[in-house]
Structure 1
Amino acid sequence: MNEGQEPRLASRDRFGGTQVDASDGPRQIPAALPKSRKTKVSDLLTAPRQRLARIRWRRTIAGALAEEQDFGYPFLFVPVFLGLGALVWFSLAETPGLLKLALLLCVFCMATGLVRHSPGVWRMATRLAVLFLAGMLLAAYETARMDTVLLDTSVTTMVRGMVTGRETTDKGYWRYTVAVAQTSGPTLKRPPETITLLSRNREAAIAIGGGIEGRARLSPPSGAALVGLNDFAFDSYFKGIGAVGYFYGKPKSIAAPDGPDKGRIARWRAQGEETIARWREAVGARIRGTIDGDAGAIAAALVTAEERAISRPTIEALREAGLAHVLAISGLNMVLAAGTFLIGARTVLSFIPGLAHRFPIKKLAAAGALIMVFFYILISGGAVSAVRSWIMISIMLVAVFFDRPSISLRNVALSALVILVVTPSAVTGPGFQMSFAATLALVAGYAHWSERPDRDFLPANPKMKPLKAAGGFLAGLLLSSFIGGMSTMIYSAGHFHRLAAYGLIGNILAMPIISIFVMPFALIAMLLMPFGLDYYPLLVMGQGLEWMIAIAGMVSSWGGQVTTGRVPEAAFVLIAAGGVLACLFRTWLAVSGLCVIAIGLVVAWTGNVPRPAVVIAEDGRLVAMIEKDSAASNRTQPPDFIFSQWQRALRINDHQKPQQRPALILKDGENTAAEKAEADSGKRNRPPIDKDAARSAVRQLLADSPSGRFACIPKQVCAATTREGWKIVTVDDARFVGIACDEADIVVTQAMLRFPLCRSGATLLSGQSLRRSGAVEIHAVASSADHKPAMRLVFALEQLHRPWARHRTYDWRTGRFDEAETDQ
């Protein structure tokens, strides 16, 4: 600094501005402000405060994200975005091919490498995009890999094949899984590889691995009963089941036919699956032979996952009591089995003198439990919930070897990641969603519960230890039941459209019995079964199940089942996403998940899913008119499989049966000479009917039927007038179709008609068109007061190019797919 010079200092005023010292030179005089505007102190403070608030929020969010990063929680979102990509791919109407997806994934992978040192937002966005595209690619690859042949239309044929699995029903019938080797009379051009057939025969069943032959009625797996409901054809495609049906009479046992040789590895795999199927059947038969009734059927289901032997009333009682999850081999069952083995083995090993001082008996017990759960998953059938539980518990037991925490969200994420990589289609099913939702919520709740500040509020008094243990057990039971029920509530409403109002009470009453008497003694029985010493443990297990059934019957008698109907899609997505965020975040960011859940609840409360005026099953046999909570159908006893789904989805409480008019039955006329010649040549040709009499009968049905209710001529035709004024006629006898088209606005028939439209302009829904559209909903569109409302048709199938729907466009006469309809 030169002599005579002084440092130039700047001083700050109280508002954060800078005051320049007078020694800097002449002061700059600012321009005069307009007289009409006066500067206020609040105006000077507003902008700095806003900037400061934004900076604080950014710093707070950045700090929370950094804390999440330190905990390693971003890994938990890997399976979330993988599953989201798979879910979107399965729901798209138009999907890109494998090659396009692979190229797009490569592009985003390169982008991720380029922005790896960029700010966090871009780096995170590219990584999430990579995960999302990877999920789509996995879904596309699994779909192409399965390549299951689904039967195109119902047919009666002679089936020859090999039994690969079997299970008994509650009525004593047998349901076989058959690997088809040959069909005849007629020979199918596209025979499915694997089918399931019901035999209504209670005699000795055909052994697994044996040949089977019989005349059977085969049908393709059914689609969704309504828009948005479960598509059973989708499930069958990914399970490898190409057709379902039943035998006419008793099937014959034959020598096992030789199938195509697919290589040594495939042959070994088939032999292994056959051996495991025999183990499952032997274990299930042994349990049911020891424990009688539904208790024995439930006991077998807890071990082998075969639930068909349980009676329908018992299943309904368990569902209404919130105990249906017990039937599935879920995390609860496997944790109880593994925990019982781990504690029991460790206790037994500790009694051996000197062993605990030389070897880590906890790790030895964990190794034994690991082997035990491996055999458990082998005979359990491999359901998604069971596989998820096995993977997670295996990771927990392996963590014991390395002295790592066993229960953590990372283990849940790892198990989800394995399932999504192997079978990404599982993400669409309620089993995967409910299983992981409950597990995620329970593990997150356990973490918060174990870290609570007042966990040791009781004094360290030895006399208080039993009380503390009992209180902890009851509190854990209550909390786990509450968390498990709340976390799966939205999925139960979204997929099954009903909730168990007293499920919490049912679980509180039944879970101690299951934890003390059922699963521990089931494990003991399985360990002693090879030595023939399983009788008494099974009796104890059966007694516990009898108590559980009694509790389910008592709770279900309270009438606590709540029918929710279809949930708005936006509400379902918001509540599910909010639950994931609330469980995966460890910091205050978890509050964002609760806010999303609250928004979803508001949407669910205020949202409204449009109710159809008429619903039509995909086979054209069942039609119902919907009015508030009532449904008037054209069947006195509608098929329960379809109608029960309609009741829950549309919140139907009352069924209006059709009025029968047997006096109007039309008799067949006489064939002409030409028609008799065609009949003699072997062509099917029914005698004609009197068209004038048929027209008069249809008009009389329309005139006499009460508004909103069907009137029927048995086995011929039904007619009704809807509340909207539409005339609807359902035709069982195809000879009435032409007359119905002339008299009605809507004509529905199961006949496979070759013409798609009525000449009169009436809406025609035949077996041929319904085969391509699936179930149909007809909604009323508002119009002027002096006209009937217009009709809006909504189809359950929006596209036919997907592999699980493409079989609907196959024509067995030409042996080709209708590509024009497939591309629609």
Structure 2
Amino acid sequence: MTTLPMPGKAYDAAMQRSWLTRVSLSRWTDKVEAFLTTSANDRGPWLTVALGAGIATWFALPSPMHWVAAMTGLLLCAVTVWGVWGRRADRNLLLLAGTTMPLVCAAGLALVWTKSELVGAAAIPHPQVRVLNAVVLERTEQPANDRVRLLLAVRDADDGRAMKVRLNVPLARDGGSLREGAHLRLRARLLPPAPPLVPGAYDFARKAWFDGLSASGTLIGDVEISKAPPAQGELLPDLQRRLAAHVRGQVEGSAGTIAAAFASGDRGAISQVDEDAMRDSGLTHLLSISGLHVSALVGACYLVSLKLLGLWPWLALRVRLPLLAAGIGAAGGVGYTLLTGAEVPTVRSCLAALLVLAAMALGREPLSLRMIAVAAAVVMLFSPEALLGPSFQMSFAAVIAIVALHGSEPMRKFLARSGESLTHRLGRQTAALFLTGVVIELALTPIVMFHFHRSGFYGAFANVMAIPLVTFCAMPLIAFALLLDVVGVGAPAWWAVEQSLNLLLEIARFTAAQPGAVRLFPQMDRATIALFAIGGMWLALWRGPVRLAGLLPVGVATILLILTPVPDVLVTGDGKNAAIRDSSGKLLILRGEPGGYAVEQLQELSATDGDVLHLASWRDAACSPEFCVANVPGRGREWRLLLARNNVMIEERQLAAACSQVDIVIAGRRLPRSCRPAWLKADRQHLSRTGGIAIYLDKHRVEAVADHQGRHGWWSAPDRNGGQ
């Protein structure tokens, strides 16, 4: 029989190190458990955070292999935590966090992946002109753009599959008969849903994928109605259009278009000038039916019904009036949400309002982060893709900021003071309102900068005046005027509505016109916005001094934002346009006109709010009808760029010689192999794989749209000249 050697000193040392490791781990977990036990935060909202983190992980990771690996890792984490602490009664909170959070995160990843597979619609392969036999699913009137936008159900002539198409029809060819249920025959130019024009630009292809949209386009010629729409039409869309038209008929001008947006959610008549003024003043959130509007309506329904029902003694003695009033308020909120289109902010606000009403009816605390978390979870369960949209992020960030601020101990003490004069009380309430506006602006600024590449500096001041004006004046007046219209005496109320909304527009225009009201920023990195989100959620969800730890990631994100480089050259995915930012802050474009969609996107992403000039007029560029050669100064050297102005073919030897003398070649067509610049050849073949690109000359780095797309269904490498 073989005798095993005794372990000796090496074995004793290893055992001692193992024991010390277990003791150290036990002490660390003791501290974590004690921290979770003594912290006063509500733990429920963190489950919603985990759900959102799982959804965001699916969008961030590039391929199914990575998605499966992430879910496997999360499940293993939960199993490991359960195996280590599953039988220890002194690890309840650590066990709960270590198992439920990874499981919910994995569920979020699986949820959005499943929805993508179920609803995702493949885009048409290339631009095409075809005759469509279609049924109108949805109609959106946009008189400010002189068009009607139709959502059509058509059957693909090649493979017979049903698909949805979005079509723009000029108002002159509408006639009012292109309504839901109409069968049409028409000719249209269709485009695949466009990917981002350049890195950081709006991703219409991703939104179209989750909306089941395969193409968008414009009408060619006239429309033949093969079957008229039903005489009655669909109740809610018809009611919304009639209500918007009625309001615009009562209130003239820009005030009427905004009043119609408040009453019905129809923003199609608001002019671009007014939209820009509201956006640059930080008031554009007032145009979207969201928490402000729904809360005002639900609150009014609740209070008015409670007071009126209280006048009936027989009912007041037999029925719990707060519960009945809550039901009336809930019905009003749901009806308003459906009428205005049930967009994400409206649904979120309606859910939150319903939870508040339920809490009030049951005698519970109506405003809490748990209530907001439930509303966010419901939205994500049905529309997980909404997490990446600015509407979801801005609406929830604003409400979380408000509840977290007013739930903090210093704010409670500040607002709870009593035994003072009316003047002091009004002053304190005004100060609290201003502070709330500042906190909302701070919460929304990173989101606005990430999605819209701009930031307003006077939004808090404008909101302090505009929010009370809309909440306590414009909205009640609109409701009162509509009520008076039932008996035909609403004219005085409509006059008051017009004056209040004209004042709102004056506030917006004055604020937007101030020097430095808006500043453009380059595209924020995903890691930067993630740090802002982590820090913001930590500040909102924790209580006590520990919440200040959230300032650390916010501070790091702020530093990263300040250090974010501005691209020197931007090239669109089709190669037909490019923009160069010169040292004086001017934007030099290859083609297009200032004010066009492509030029506006290039201007935003290059963080240039100065003049926009054509490259051909630049002093450091030499242009022929076919090409431009531009000398772009950098740190320590000068870069030479060759840019094609059109697709006219030139002699290959001449082109090869020109390419050999430059660093970068940009063209919207395929160039021969003999064209060999010193660094980069961004021709049609290259751009069809990468999409639009951003070039950082001094860093010798190229960022492409494809770098952030992965193998998600809405992205495909072949050339796609889509449009909005």
- Could you tell which deviates more after superposition, 101-110 or 741-750? 101-110
Q: Secondary structure at the match of 1:96?
A: helix
Supply the AA of the counterpart residue of 1:87: A
Residue 188 of structure 1, CA deviation:
5.1
Distance 1:271 1:389 in 2: 34
Structure-2 residue corresponding to 1:226: 198
Q: Secondary structure at the match of 1:505?
A: helix
Distance 1:287 1:471 in 2: 36
Give the unaligned 5+ runs of structure 2.
1-24
Residue from 735, 738, 748 that aligns with 2:666: 748
Say if 1:592 and 1:97 are closer, same or farther in 2 by CA, change over 3 A: closer
Supply the AA of the counterpart residue of 2:436: S
Structure-1 residue corresponding to 2:690: 773
Residue 409 of structure 1, CA deviation:
0.8
Structure-2 residue corresponding to 1:297: 257
Distance 1:750 1:507 in 2: 45
Distance 1:178 1:737 in 2: 47
Contact 1:164 1:277 in 2 (8 A): no
Residue 539 of structure 1, CA deviation:
4.3
Distance 2:359 2:368 in 1: 10
Contact 1:718 1:729 in 2 (8 A): yes
Structure-2 residue corresponding to 1:321: 281
Say if 1:162 and 1:619 are closer, same or farther in 2 by CA, change over 3 A: same
Contact 2:121 2:209 in 1 (8 A): yes
Structure-2 residue corresponding to 1:79: 48
Alignment of 1:588 onto 2:545:
yes
Distance 2:121 2:717 in 1: 10
Contact 2:590 2:614 in 1 (8 A): yes
Supply the AA of the counterpart residue of 1:797: A
Distance 1:500 1:227 in 2: 23
Q: Secondary structure at the match of 1:484?
A: helix
Say if 1:359 and 1:497 are closer, same or farther in 2 by CA, change over 3 A: same
Contact 1:757 1:764 in 2 (8 A): no
Structure-2 residue corresponding to 1:618: 573
Say if 1:654 and 1:207 are closer, same or farther in 2 by CA, change over 3 A: same
Say if 1:528 and 1:98 are closer, same or farther in 2 by CA, change over 3 A: farther
Structure-1 residue corresponding to 2:271: 311
Say if 1:448 and 1:72 are closer, same or farther in 2 by CA, change over 3 A: closer
Contact 1:178 1:195 in 2 (8 A): yes
Say if 1:545 and 1:240 are closer, same or farther in 2 by CA, change over 3 A: farther
Supply the AA of the counterpart residue of 1:397: L
Q: Secondary structure at the match of 1:734?
A: coil
Structure-1 residue corresponding to 2:630: 720
Residue 175 of structure 1, CA deviation:
2.6
Contact 1:151 1:191 in 2 (8 A): no
Distance 1:556 1:103 in 2: 50
Structure-2 residue corresponding to 1:796: 705
Contact 2:415 2:428 in 1 (8 A): no
Alignment of 1:760 onto 2:672:
no
Alignment of 1:164 onto 2:137:
yes
Distance 1:541 1:342 in 2: 23
Structure-1 residue corresponding to 2:460: 504
Say if 1:457 and 1:182 are closer, same or farther in 2 by CA, change over 3 A: closer
Alignment of 1:734 onto 2:648:
yes
Give the unaligned 5+ runs of structure 1.
1-53, 258-269, 661-704, 783-790, 812-824
Residue 332 of structure 1, CA deviation:
1.2
Structure-2 residue corresponding to 1:254: 226
Say if 1:159 and 1:710 are closer, same or farther in 2 by CA, change over 3 A: farther
Contact 2:482 2:490 in 1 (8 A): yes
Contact 2:50 2:105 in 1 (8 A): yes
1:408-461 Cα offsets, whole Å, 9 max, x none, are 11100101111122211111111111111111110111212687335443327x
Supply the AA of the counterpart residue of 1:584: L
Distance 1:128 1:456 in 2: 36
Say if 1:134 and 1:504 are closer, same or farther in 2 by CA, change over 3 A: same
Alignment of 1:344 onto 2:304:
yes
Distance 2:158 2:645 in 1: 29
Distance 1:96 1:525 in 2: 58
Residue 92 of structure 1, CA deviation:
1.1
Supply the AA of the counterpart residue of 1:89: W
Distance 2:655 2:456 in 1: 44
Structure-1 residue corresponding to 2:529: 572
Distance 2:675 2:561 in 1: 42
Q: Secondary structure at the match of 1:130?
A: helix
Contact 1:166 1:175 in 2 (8 A): yes
- 1:255-654 counterparts in 2 under 5 A? 255=227, 274-448=234-408, 452-453=412-413, 455-459=415-419, 464=421, 467=423, 470-471=426-427, 473-525=429-481, 537-559=493-515, 560-605=517-562, 607-609=563-565, 611-628=566-583, 629-635=585-591, 637=593, 640-652=596-608, 653-654=610-611
Contact 1:578 1:594 in 2 (8 A): yes
Distance 2:632 2:228 in 1: 56
Q: Secondary structure at the match of 1:228?
A: coil
Structure-1 residue corresponding to 2:9: none
Say if 1:795 and 1:456 are closer, same or farther in 2 by CA, change over 3 A: closer
What count of residue pairs does the alignment treat as equivalent? 677
Supply the AA of the counterpart residue of 1:801: R
Q: Secondary structure at the match of 2:570?
A: strand
* Pair member with larger Rg: 1
Residue 307 of structure 1, CA deviation:
2.2
Q: Secondary structure at the match of 1:512?
A: helix
Contact 2:240 2:339 in 1 (8 A): yes
Residue 394 of structure 1, CA deviation:
1.1
Supply the AA of the counterpart residue of 1:616: V
Residue 79 of structure 1, CA deviation:
0.9
Structure-1 residue corresponding to 2:63: 94
% identical equivalent positions: 23
Residue 87 of structure 1, CA deviation:
0.5
Say if 1:608 and 1:237 are closer, same or farther in 2 by CA, change over 3 A: same
Supply the AA of the counterpart residue of 1:760: C
Say if 1:568 and 1:171 are closer, same or farther in 2 by CA, change over 3 A: closer
Q: Secondary structure at the match of 1:542?
A: helix
- Could you tell which deviates more after superposition, 275-284 or 413-422? 275-284
Distance 1:486 1:650 in 2: 23
Say if 1:425 and 1:369 are closer, same or farther in 2 by CA, change over 3 A: same
Residue 570 of structure 1, CA deviation:
3.6
Q: Secondary structure at the match of 1:226?
A: coil
Residue from 38, 45, 61 that aligns with 1:67: 38
Q: TM-score, normalised by structure 1?
A: 0.75
Alignment of 1:177 onto 2:177:
no
Residue 777 of structure 1, CA deviation:
2.1
Distance 2:145 2:518 in 1: 29
Say if 1:391 and 1:543 are closer, same or farther in 2 by CA, change over 3 A: same
Structure-2 residue corresponding to 1:659: 616
Residue from 117, 124, 145 that aligns with 1:151: 124
CA RMSD after TM alignment: 3.4
Contact 1:500 1:562 in 2 (8 A): yes
Contact 1:633 1:710 in 2 (8 A): no
Distance 1:97 1:600 in 2: 26
Supply the AA of the counterpart residue of 1:66: T
1:800-823 Cα offsets, whole Å, 9 max, x none, are 632111384799xxxxxxxxxxxx
Alignment of 1:194 onto 2:159:
no
Supply the AA of the counterpart residue of 2:198: L
